[in-house]
Structure 1
């Protein structure tokens, strides 16, 4: 199998300085008191005050620290040492208590050595993981009895549609072949990356739900959303996120899932 972990670590380490400086992440706005969380996440997760929360694949830690601002006792984990260094710096500058650990997500139970009330995974995370069964088992191992997983993600259906209109099926939804990409930029702008190769893995919605259930977690809800965080298709319009224009048939652009431990 291709050495996806080494390739992706190099790619994400080279993205970190670009992301920190970008308007997309708006690190300055966060330091000034902003939040990186979406309204539907806040509603669906609920009150986190006093609860222990682990954020897997936390990147710069802005989502992690947003939960800390709401009273959670947070731990963030990411395989990019450059990202974790930034996350620790942002936490210190903001005066927010947080623990950040550098490790592969599959090694989280050993790397963290603790269990949590909430395991949170933010958008754009699962596409970097080849084995969802192992991921779900990792999540289950991190949860205390009565705790829950909360996952917010881009809907996999969007990956089969053409990038211009989002109306034509041009890719195979069931293709699970690793996708090797050579792309000079990241999603935040035109800066050229030092390491431009990445490896991604497509997973269907059924793959996610089945992996979570097989790990012994009880699915509480699966919500599909008609909006997303960026102009995924050229035809989307900005309206409380990005959506299809009024009058056009809607498609699922994101989803969220919550599943509890016994």
Structure 2
């Protein structure tokens, strides 16, 4: 059962970039949180699919186009792949949402399976793949059950941007990744930096720490009617969701404990969305202007391999 929220933390743009809402620390059973998140993302799938931000029609029209997320990730990922390419490799995309990044990976020649827990998201993803002429398999399950649901090991496991906050059990998450990888396989991960979640996002004049960095077992309840896209937020009927924030050390250690070998840990000055009012656009990304650009990391990337 859910306990009453305590100590509300107003948040203009939350760390996962989904618009406006109030954050509270709560206690809730995992099944209830999972169900709420699934219905929330079922609603958001419709909004995102109709938005120019995701631009599904543009992806379909241009068979060589890839998403901005994958365009950012590919040069880093392929440096750790045999032959420097995804061509001919088997790849699982965890928390794939509506499949724009999944399609982009398939266009690199990989045999791709997308995994997500949102039925509506996968409906959009399957339609997108079909209209784009891409042979992509989609599996619906919780991310921590993917190794069992996918039923095969692969060369690459990929997950990027706005995913880790939806994982309740880091140990199970890391073991799932290890279970999906063949010996010699590569795991790629990029997300917003946990430091970003600590910043006061209601003060547009300064960048300062306000919220906790070490999340641990804290569950965050968010009632959020907004969207980070140009889609219609009125379509979001189920506004409640639950997140878990982790220190970088917690995420890294979970992968090491699962037997993976860390090959890269990098921090970045760019992000895929405007998480703070002070951020300014730079190409397809958002950055903090000086002097904050050199003071606060906005993203981080991990690459690990399985012996």
Is TM > 0.5 for Structure 1 vs Structure 2? yes
Does 2:72 correspond to 1:31? no
Moved more, 162-171 or 138-147: 162-171
Q: Do the aligned partners of 2:207 and 2:292 also contact (CA within 8 Å) in 1?
A: no
Q: Which has the higher contact order (CA 8 A, sep 6+)?
A: 2
Match of 1:173 among 186, 192, 213: 213
- Secondary structure of the structure 2 residue equivalent to 1:169: coil
**Uncovered stretches (5+) of structure 2, i.e. residues with no partner:** 1-27, 79-84
User: May I ask how many residue pairs the two structures share in their alignment?
Assistant: 262
Match of 2:185 in 1: 147
Q: CA RMSD for the aligned pairs?
A: 1.3
Greater displacement, 131-140 / 22-31: 22-31
Task: Report the equivalent of 2:264.
Answer: 221
1:191 aligns with 2:220: no
Q: Secondary structure at the match of 1:76?
A: strand
For residue 131 of structure 1, the aligned residue among 145, 164, 169 is 169
What is the aligned partner in structure 2 of residue 212 from structure 1? 255
Give the TM-score, by structure 1 length. 0.96
Which residue of the other structure, out of 66, 73, 84, is the alignment partner of 1:41? Answer: 73
Q: Which runs of 5+ in 1 are unaligned?
A: none
Alignment deviations for residues 27-50 of structure 1 (CA, whole Å, 9 cap, x no partner): 112112221134441111111000
Quote the Cα distance in structure 2 between the aligned partners of 1:121 and 1:260: 14
Give 1:85-164 correspondences, 5 Å limit: 85-163=123-201, 164=203
The farther-off stretch of 38-47 and 194-203 is 38-47
2:215 and 2:145 mapped to 1: Cα distance? 27
Q: Distance in 2 between matches of 1:182 and 1:30?
A: 31
User: Is the aligned partner of 1:238 residue 2:281?
Assistant: yes
Moved segments of 4+, more than 6 Å: none
